[in-house]
Amino acid sequence: DIQMTQSPSSLSASVGDRVTITCRASQIISNHLHGYLNWYQQIPGKAPKLLIYDASKLQTGVPSRFSGSGSGTDFTLTISSLQPEDFATYYCQQSYGSPTFGPGTKVDLK
State which of residues 21, 25, 29, 53 lies at the interface with another protein (CB under 8 A).
53
d(CA 56, CA 44): 25
d(CA 37, CA 55): 5
Q: Is 65 in the site for another protein (CB under 8 A)?
A: no
Distances (CA, A) of 55 to 26, 49, 109: 16, 15, 26
> CA geometry: angle at 10 spanning 5 and 11, to 5°?
130
Looking at residues 14 to 43 of the shown chain, list those that interact with another protein (rule: CB under 8 A): 38, 40, 42
Q: Is 75 in the site for another protein (CB under 8 A)?
A: no
Q: Is 85 in the site for another protein (CB under 8 A)?
A: no
Write out the residues near another protein by the rule CB under 8 A: 1, 38, 40, 42, 47-50, 53-54, 59, 91, 93, 95, 98-104
